[in-house]
Amino acid sequence: MTDVSGIIVAMVTPLADDQKISYSRTDKLLDKLLTYNINGIFILGTNGEAYSLTEDEKFSFAKHVIEYVNHRTQIFVGTGLNSTSETIAFSQRIATLNPDALSVVTPYFVPPTQEELINHFEKLANSVNVPIILYNMPGKTGVNIDPETVAELSKNPNIVGVKDSSGNIENMRGYLKLRANKEFGVLSGSDSKILALLEAGGDGAIAATANLLTQNDVDIYKYYQDDNLKMAEKCQSRIEPLRKILHTRTTPSALKATVTASGINVGPAKDPVMMPNSDELEDIDRMISYYRTNNII
């Protein structure tokens, strides 16, 4: 049974210098992440550049990651596309790899109504035999999955949770209040809200900052579970220098640059996204030095 809780890493997709997926770099990043007490790895999301990869590239990458990890942690795979039919077809294809769950972003560009979202996700959930995690990212898609919509979708036994990247804690509280049962997981996709969501009764986070700050992010969850709120707050605050860097560039170029600066080369971002310039790289190096000096990485 899929465990929708704890800290799940929203992993970047390592590329070679020619912009093709690098499986050797992927393995090195996975080796690092698997040394920590994470509760899963989410591939092919926003920071995984799913929007810029072909379906064949995504399938091959998912196959490699699932086989390499070999049940050492859970693997969630992003399969959301822009129409219901293509999302179902691609999700069914990924389902043959037996991931632990599919994370499915809402259709975008022409924002669906809430009724259309329910229709979209119900048809998908009833067409695949892998659990579905809803992915709410209104800043990119133009549509919010409202709490009342999650209340309805959470009744479907194959829809097991939601990742909320809205940054709106009231929206997340709405999910918690209206979800059909406590087994339906509510995860923060906004790393600044990990502790706030836990305090509201949430279940964890799918965190991009965990590519670099893996132990720190795990510790937010651990300390909260241990009722050590002071340390949980300290770990939450430690994310801010990295978040400040991440907001200086188009996603995920700054994140990839920080991971590479820490010693795990994950390559460039996909064009047209450009990597940080020399001044920005100096800021990244200073941040990495700060984290190392303070034993955070």
DSSP E strands, the chain? 6-10, 40-43, 75-78, 101-105, 132-136, 159-164, 185-188, 204-207
Q: Give the residue from 147, 138, 107, 99 showing the smallest Cα distance to 123.
A: 107
Distances (CA, A) of 77 to 157, 175, 208, 280: 19, 22, 14, 31
User: Per the annotation, does 145 bind a ligand?
Assistant: no
Decide if 163 is catalytic: yes
- 21 contacts 57 by C-beta, under 8 angstroms: yes
Among 51, 61, 49, 133, CA closest to 93: 61
Query: Three-state SS for 118?
Result: helix
Question: What residues contact residue 176 under an 8 Å CB cut-off, 6+ apart?
Answer: 186, 200, 201, 202
Tell me how far apart the alpha carbons of residues 119 and 28 are, in angstroms, rounded to a whole number. 40
Active-site residue (options: 23, 36, 163, 221): 163
C-alpha–C-alpha distance, residues 281 and 295, integer Å = 21
Rg over CA atoms, the chain: 18
Annotated active-site residue 135? The verdict is: yes
Separation CA 212–CA 203 (nearest Å) = 21
Given the residues 58, 135, 193, 223, select the one marked as catalytic: 135
- What are the structure tokens assigned to 188, written together? 């923060």
Q: How far apart are CA 94 and CA 128, in angstroms?
A: 10
Secondary structure class of 193 (helix, strand, coil): helix
**Residue 241: Cβ-neighbour burial (10 angstroms; 0-12, 13-18, 19+):** middle
Residues annotated within a binding site for pyruvate: 206
Residues with a known catalytic role: 135, 163
